[in-house]
Amino acid sequence: MLKKLLLGLFFAQLPYLLLAQEEEETVQTKFQTGMTPAQKLIASTGEDLMTGGNAGHSQTVLSGYGQASFQRNMKYKTSTLNLDRVVLFVGHQFNSRIAFFSELEIADARVEGGKPMGEVGMEQAYLKFSLNSRQYFVAGLFIPRIGILNENHLPTNYNGTERPLVEQLVIPSTWRELGVAFYGQMSALPIAYSIGVVNGLDASNFTHGTGIGDGKGGGQRSAGNNLAMTASVKAFMGDFQVQVSGYAGGTIGLSSYEADSLRVESGLLAAPIYLGEANVQYAKDGFAAKVLASYVAYPKAGDINRTYAKNTASAMYGAYAEVSYNLFQSIKNEKYADRQLIAFARYEKLDLNSKIPANGIYDGTLKQSHLLLGLNYLPIPNIAIKADIRVTNTGPFNKSLLINPPPVMREYPQNNSFLNIGIGYSF
């Protein structure tokens, strides 16, 4: 009944949206005129590199971003250097209504056969169909509007060498799926909204300790038997930006025959998982603050554990708060007009097994708190040099999770700290 209602609401609006008539002036002109600053901000997320007149008719755009990092584990006295990611963006504006966007990512520098390191994959690949200056569809592999980081994942867009852990583990990043979505904004109010249908997650790929992220399809032969819906509402109020978003979808894409043999559900919303998220952002005169909270509920986690032995939690949560200030803000010198030196502090708290089914095993290490203090130096808006310290506290390690313990094993450190240094760019 629920799946019929959700799909019915979406497709009932589809004919009316397709009949919407665009005014005679082009999309690029309307983004630049007749709109409030808040409406212009809604129209461009910072990831849409061809929004706001940056690309004209029949124009191809090449762009990209990347980052490298150094991390020192203070407790184990080990250090790691890594080229975290290099991403190439290719977009093409066919005309004022239709555009193509793509991002190809190489993670961890390279991929070698037989080694569990590195990844090459499409981060985005979709067509954008603009109905008018305020409404458009996307179809293909895209990133739903969930959380802050997913739509603003350029290394120059966030503080710290590492992406916020809550938006890596509780809300997967960067969370891309195949599907179709509709985006719009109100004409009289600075409110944006989105609704989309994408492929569902795959519970057989869930991994203990990484949340639901390993269940993402990522555009690679994802099951079409189960679907998911995402939706968001974003409002701009003066110097504040407020967003609420959600996700609901099935996690089993097997046929009914296969599902019956494994004693699990089948169908569009089989073994559904629910994710809710809310965030508030503030920025003025060099000072910025943001707060985000997210909760995941997975009622059928017990069935997944019985079938796939994944030790999956039935609920998890995460939240963080961050404040930052540009130390160059008060310098009245043209030399520093484009430079920023941002001091920031962020506190994160999460638990990837806040509730576990009867057949699950609690892992105290997944209940974590992190305090980060750091500096970001941007000599120009497209280059970031970062340094920060992360102080981490977790619960104790549960030895019941060890199946074949090694003969020699270090004691798990519940308290640890990490020094991170990194560089990032976007163009």
pLDDT in tens, 45-62: 445 544 434 444 568 999
Residue 10 pLDDT class (50, 70, 90 cuts):
very low
Chain Cα centroid distance, residue 344: 21
* Confidence (pLDDT) at 274: 98
Q: What is the DSSP letter of 365?
A: G
Q: Which residues of 410-422 are buried (b: 16+ CB within 10 A; e: fewer)?
A: eeebeeeebbbbb
Dihedral of alpha carbons 213, 290, 277, 124, sign:
negative
Q: Using CB atoms within 10 A of its CB, is residue 396 exposed (0-12), middle (13-18) or buried (19+)?
A: exposed
* Confidence (pLDDT) at 57: 53
- What is the distance between the alpha carbons of residues 297 and 249, in angstroms, rounded to a whole number? 11
Return the percentage of the chain with pLDDT > 70, whole number.
Answer: 86
22: nearest Cα among 31, 13, 12: 31
Tokens of 4: 């019929």
Beta bridge partners of 181: 138, 196
Return the percentage of the chain with pLDDT > 90, whole number.
Answer: 70
CB neighbourhood size of 332 (10 A)? 7
For strand 415-426 and strand 383-394, is the pairing parallel, antiparallel, or unpaired? antiparallel
Helix then strand then coil, % of the chain, to nearest 5: 15, 45, 40
Chain Cα centroid distance, residue 111: 23
Q: What is the DSSP letter of 260?
A: H
The tens digit of pLDDT for each residue in 107-153 reads: 998 887 767 778 899 999 999 999 999 999 999 999 999 999 999 99
- What is the distance between the alpha carbons of residues 265 and 143, in angstroms, rounded to a whole number? 27
Q: Point out the least confidently predicted range of 12-21, 229-238, 287-296.
A: 12-21
* Confidence (pLDDT) at 9: 39
Tokens of 366: 């997944």
Question: Where are the alpha helices (H) located in 254-361, listed in sequence order?
Answer: 256-262, 301-308
Chain Cα centroid distance, residue 381: 22
* Confidence (pLDDT) at 58: 61
* Confidence (pLDDT) at 8: 46
Beta bridge partners of 280: 242, 291
The string of DSSP codes covering 399-420 is GGG-SS--SS-PPP-SEEEEEE
259: nearest Cα among 215, 308, 218: 308
Q: Point out the least confidently predicted range of 31-40, 99-108, 357-366.
A: 31-40
Q: What is the DSSP letter of 210?
A: S
* Confidence (pLDDT) at 199: 95
* Confidence (pLDDT) at 16: 34
The tens digit of pLDDT for each residue in 220-239 reads: 888 888 999 999 999 999 99
* Confidence (pLDDT) at 425: 97
Residue 3 pLDDT class (50, 70, 90 cuts):
very low
- The residue count of the chain comes to 427
Residue 370 phi, psi dihedral angles, 5° rounding = -135, 130
Question: Where are the alpha helices (H) located in 24-73, listed in sequence order?
Answer: 27-32, 37-43
The tens digit of pLDDT for each residue in 330-380 reads: 888 888 888 999 999 999 999 999 999 999 999 999 999 999 999 999 999
Neighbouring C-alpha atoms within 13 Å toward the C-beta of 94: 9
Q: Point out the least confidently predicted range of 7-11, 76-80, 87-91, 228-232.
A: 7-11
Tokens of 324: 């930052």
- What is the distance between the alpha carbons of residues 215 and 228, in angstroms, rounded to a whole number? 13
Q: Terminal CA-to-CA distance of the chain, rounded, Å?
A: 47
- What is the distance between the alpha carbons of residues 312 and 274, in angstroms, rounded to a whole number? 14
**345 CB contacts (<8 Å, ≥6 apart)?**
322, 323, 324, 371, 372, 373
Q: What is the DSSP letter of 20?
A: P
The structure tokens 């799926």 sit at: 177
* Confidence (pLDDT) at 213: 94
* Confidence (pLDDT) at 183: 97
Mean pLDDT of 401-412: 81
- What is the distance between the alpha carbons of residues 274 and 350, in angstroms, rounded to a whole number? 17
Tokens of 150: 């997913």
- What is the distance between the alpha carbons of residues 248 and 36, in angstroms, rounded to a whole number? 33
- Does 193 score more than 90 pLDDT? yes
